[in-house]
Amino acid sequence: MLGMTAAPPRALAADNVTASINLSVPALVRVYGIGNLPLGTYTGAPEGVTANDNVCVWSNQSSGNYKVTARGSGEEDAFTLSNGSGGILPYEVRWNNSTSTVGNVALTKGVQSSTFSIASRPPSVCSGSENANFQVLISRTELLKVAAGAYSGVLTLVISP
Burial (CB count <10 Å: 0-12, 13-18, 19+), residue 87: middle
Give pLDDT, residue 30: 86
pLDDT of 56-93, one tens digit each? 898 888 888 999 999 999 999 999 999 999 999 999 99
pLDDT(122) > 70: no
Give pLDDT, residue 68: 97
Q: Taking residues 2-16, report their average pLDDT.
A: 70
Q: Taking residues 130-144, report their average pLDDT.
A: 95
pLDDT of 12-60, one tens digit each? 677 888 999 999 989 888 888 898 999 999 999 999 999 999 998 988 8
Give pLDDT, residue 62: 82
CATH class, domain 29-160, is: mainly beta
Question: Where in the chain are the domains?
Answer: 29-160
Higher pLDDT, 135 or 4: 135
pLDDT(1) > 60: no
pLDDT band at 6 (very low <50, low <70, confident <90, very high): low
Q: Taking residues 139-157, report their average pLDDT.
A: 96
Give pLDDT, residue 49: 97
Q: Report yes or no: 60 and 126 within 8 Å, Cβ to Cβ.
A: no
59 CB-near residues (< 8 Å, 6+ apart): 27, 28, 29, 30, 65, 66, 118, 121, 161
Distance CA 40, CA 49 (A): 8
